[in-house]
Amino acid sequence: MHPILFKIGSLPINSYGLMLAISFLLGVKLASRRALKLGIPSDETVNLSIWIMAAAIIGSRAFYVVTHMEQYSDDPLAIVAFWNGLYGLSMLGGVVLAMIVGFAWILKKKWPLWSFADAVIPSFALGIFITRIGCFYNGCCFGRETACSVGIAFPSGSIPYAIFGNAPIHPTQLYSSLGGLVILLILLLADRRRNFPGFIFSMFLGLYGATRFGMEEFRYFDHTPTGILGYSVFAARPGMTDNQVISLFMVLFSFVLGAWLYYRNQKSSS
Per residue of the chain (270 residues), what is the pLDDT tens digit?
Answer: 676 777 777 777 788 888 888 999 999 999 999 999 999 999 999 999 999 989 988 888 888 777 777 666 776 666 676 555 445 677 778 888 999 999 999 999 999 999 999 999 999 999 999 999 998 988 888 999 999 999 999 988 888 999 999 999 999 999 999 999 999 999 999 999 989 999 999 999 999 999 999 998 899 876 544 444 444 444 445 567 778 888 999 999 999 999 999 999 988 876
pLDDT at residue 33, as a whole number: 95
pLDDT value at residue 78: 66
**Cα distance between residue 51 and residue 53, in whole Å:** 5
Q: Which of 15, 157, 94, 221 is nearest to 102 (CA)?
A: 94
Nearest to 191 by CA among 25, 26, 38: 38
Q: What is the pLDDT of residue 83?
A: 53
Q: What's phi and psi for 267, nearest 5 deg?
A: -65, -40
- Report the distance separating Cα 227 and Cα 22, nearest Å: 37
- CA 207 vs. chain centroid, Å, equals 12
Prediction pTM value: 0.85
Angle between helices 199-215 and 172-190 (to 10 degrees): 160
Give the model's pLDDT for residue 234. 45
According to DSSP, the residues that pair with 66 across neighbouring strands are none
